[in-house]
Amino acid sequence: MSIQEFQALIEAIYLQRDSARGLEGTHMWFCEEVGELTRALRRGQTDELEGEFADVLAWLSTLASMSGIDLAEAAQKKYARGCPRCERTPCACA
């Protein structure tokens, strides 16, 4: 599944409810999911990582949609040439 397809799927599933909650409330849920991912990483809970990464991506996608941002397009614009600073892959920044 592409980033655009995933973002569209998350919009179809959650955008109406998340929009009603508002950007600030939805951002708080996103931060909670990032915390859960952090905890799983810190504790070495590899069995939980896949789900936590997916949750963070889903909440990030809905925040982008609520803000009128196409994640795939934003990523393409910023990283297509490699590192945004040195434009190399891999990054050669000091």
Q: For the segment 45-76, what is each residue's pLDDT rounded down to a tens digit?
A: 999 999 999 999 999 999 999 999 999 999 99
Please indicate, yes or no, if residue 59 is contained in any of the structural domains: yes
Please indicate, yes or no, if residue 73 is contained in any of the structural domains: yes
Q: Report which of 70, 55, 57, 62 is spatially closest to residue 22, judged by C-alpha positions.
A: 62
Residue 42 is predicted with a pLDDT of 98
Please indicate, yes or no, if residue 30 is contained in any of the structural domains: yes
Structural domain containing residue 71:
3-79
Name the token pair of 43: 């504790």
Name the token pair of 33: 């999911």
pLDDT tens-digit map of 6-51: 999 999 999 999 999 999 999 999 999 999 999 999 999 999 999 9
